[in-house]
Amino acid sequence: MNKRVQPIGGDMKIVISDEVNFTTDSVLLANFSSPSPKTNVMEIGSGCGIIPLLWCRNKKLNKITAVEINKVPFEMMCESIKLNNLEDRILALNEDIKVLASSRSIYGRFDMVVCNPPYFPVGSCKTLNRSLSRHENTITLEEIIKISSLFLKYGGKLCLCCRTDRLCDIVFFMRKFGIEPKLLRFVEYKQGKSAELFLIKGQKGAKTGLILKNNLVVQMKNGVYSDEVNEIYNNY
């Protein structure tokens, strides 16, 4: 595996490879969730660690738990944490979140849980690393939301990024496990095209009342990135 170090702005760097990298949706989710500096936050399925790194760069968070089941991206995330001297701010765990959830010691402990969950059904990808991160091989959307609810404090927030065809599932499961959807934003990769992704934030124990934000457009019709996306990426 040909690993390399990529700058992500603010004197921070991330270790990536052709097989283990990050995508625009992770960057958008990091920006959308935007936890405050004192937030005790967990990311489920951290991959190479781009979201915790961006949080540390932008918000100076110091209470992050990053959970990744797959050993290869976990080890790369640990390299990035060490490279950026963030060992005292990011706790990286090479764990199955379902096994972690079997211990009640961390129930109700987190102000926010963030996840870029599996998009696709089991068996539709032949590449192991991609399969684990994008397909429901090891965990389902329902399990992620149930576990997130257990980990969240009352009033804590859950932030997800997923494909639009899973929106009804996510809203259903959020409400099933006591998390009320509060903020929804669709993502258009190309201006004027149907949205393929959405970002959603729910709050544990909250009253009903959903705010629908204007669509986030990644690329304008002429192919250039939108002003908003340029602003999100401006530190790179």
Query: Does 49 reside within a domain?
Result: yes
pLDDT of residue 59: 82
122 is a domain residue = yes
Return the half-sphere exposure (C-beta side, CA atoms, 13 A cut-off) of residue 44: 32
pLDDT value of residue 126 = 54
Task: Determine, yes or no, domain membership for 188.
Answer: no
Q: Report d(CA 155, CA 170) in Å as an integer.
A: 18
Q: What is the span of the domain harbouring residue 74? A: 4-172
- Can you give the length of the chain in residues? 236
The parts of the chain modelled with pLDDT lower than 50 are: 124, 128-133, 135
Q: Which residues pair with 211 in a beta bridge?
A: 183
Contacts of 224 by beta carbon, 8 Å cutoff, 6+ apart:
none
Query: What secondary structure, in 3-state letters, does 186-229 show?
Result: EEEEECCCCCCEEEEEEEECCCCCCEECCCEEEECCCCCECHHH
The secondary structure element, H or E, covering residue 160 is: strand 152-163
Q: For residue 100, is it within any domain?
A: yes
> Does 179 map to a domain?
no
| CATH assignment at residue 75 | 3.40.50.150
pTM for the predicted model, two decimal places? 0.92
Question: Considering the domain boundaries, does residue 63 fall inside one?
Answer: yes
How many domains does one find in the chain? 1
CB-based contacts of 18, cutoff 8 Å, min separation 6: 1, 2
